[in-house]
Structure 1
């Protein structure tokens, strides 16, 4: 495998587990708002925590009934429930997040501000926070990436998710090898 390019590769979730996690993030009101948004972004768009914490509020836009989040350079249509969650995070944040207080010197604020609010949260803190709520980040991201890379050409995944083309091709190779191993194991039964 392309070790350096696929660093952090952990056992992916099954597709069913990923879908359950996504449903939980979109529908479970007992989860904190931030955990729901972060988990959904990971499950849908294979975004690593480092990219999620760097998102600024200006990356979210509404166009009529549709809502978009600009990932890399491309506005991506959001599911309506996720759009509502992100809007709620921006307009009525938890007091501890200080989202409304974070616009500094004309710069857009972070969707998940740190302390001080002019800085993003650390990826390590967010990863711990997600584990605390039983939302596996890396495993979910790996599954989301595998699903994307099997549905779309690697160069499209590279451009859409903002990853290096070589990394996208390495993921495609990994996905192809994983499917081959799976099919081989099935035929042996």
Structure 2
């Protein structure tokens, strides 16, 4: 190219499948901002909380149904894995308020839909692209927020426990834990009281 024997080439920049995560302080600040923002749709705020707190990909969030929310009167849990994952208080209030207002905010064509995030097409959830765009507009990068959340979670608990609680494959969380430098990989299983 320098001697002009070949044309200039532009090499496309392709993002990796696992982008560099947000910093922990950025993720917590984004979560606090989302919870305090009453001007944004509860639908988008709830989706942002699921990304930033539970490391759920947008493609899985749109497939959640109202049956995935379990409220026994005292506690709110989500069926992300087995057993259901407890939802902390400020997010639980947002989730319950969203569920209560859901019938009024659902398009008429999709009134009897089981989806937690119903779309405009009959019997279909909202498109992942639509929800991802709404999160981006809110200032929550879905991929980076999810990556940050899962890395922080595997630093706080063993990777198989996180995998089971959030519906991930244990090999994925083990790989993420290794990349994040989690101390749990150094513990041998079994009874150590002998």
TM-score using structure 2 length:
0.78
Q: Once superposed, which parts of structure 1, at least 4 consecutive aligned residues long, lie more than 4 Å away?
A: none
Match of 1:119 in 2: 124
Question: Helix, strand or coil: the match of 2:70?
Answer: strand
Decide whether the 8 Å contact of 2:110 with 2:120 is kept in 1. no
Match of 1:84 in 2: 93
Question: Helix, strand or coil: the match of 1:12?
Answer: coil
Structure 1 93/99 Cα, relative in aligned 2: closer, same or farther at 3 Å?
farther
* 1:1-189 paired onto structure 2 within 5 Å: 8-93=17-102, 97-98=106-107, 101-103=110-112, 109-176=114-181
In 2, Cα distance between equivalents of 1:52 and 1:46: 10
Decide whether the 8 Å contact of 2:117 with 2:126 is kept in 1. yes
In 1, Cα distance between equivalents of 2:179 and 2:108: 39
- Encode CA deviations 1:8-61: one digit per residue, 9 max, x unaligned: 211211111100111112221122111110111111110111111111011112
Question: Helix, strand or coil: the match of 1:68?
Answer: strand
Q: Which moved more, 1:145-154 or 1:117-126?
A: 117-126
Structure 1: 5+ residue stretches without partners: 1-6, 178-189
TM-score using structure 1 length:
0.80
* Offset of residue 88 of structure 1: 2.1
Structure 1 112/99 Cα, relative in aligned 2: closer, same or farther at 3 Å?
farther
CA RMSD of aligned residues (A): 2.1
Larger Cα-atom Rg: 2
* Offset of residue 73 of structure 1: 3.0
Question: Helix, strand or coil: the match of 1:118?
Answer: coil
For these two proteins, the number of residue pairs brought into alignment is 167
Structure 2: 5+ residue stretches without partners: 1-15, 183-194
Structure 1 99/13 Cα, relative in aligned 2: closer, same or farther at 3 Å?
farther
In 1, Cα distance between equivalents of 2:108 and 2:93: 16
- Encode CA deviations 1:67-88: one digit per residue, 9 max, x unaligned: 1111123211112221222222
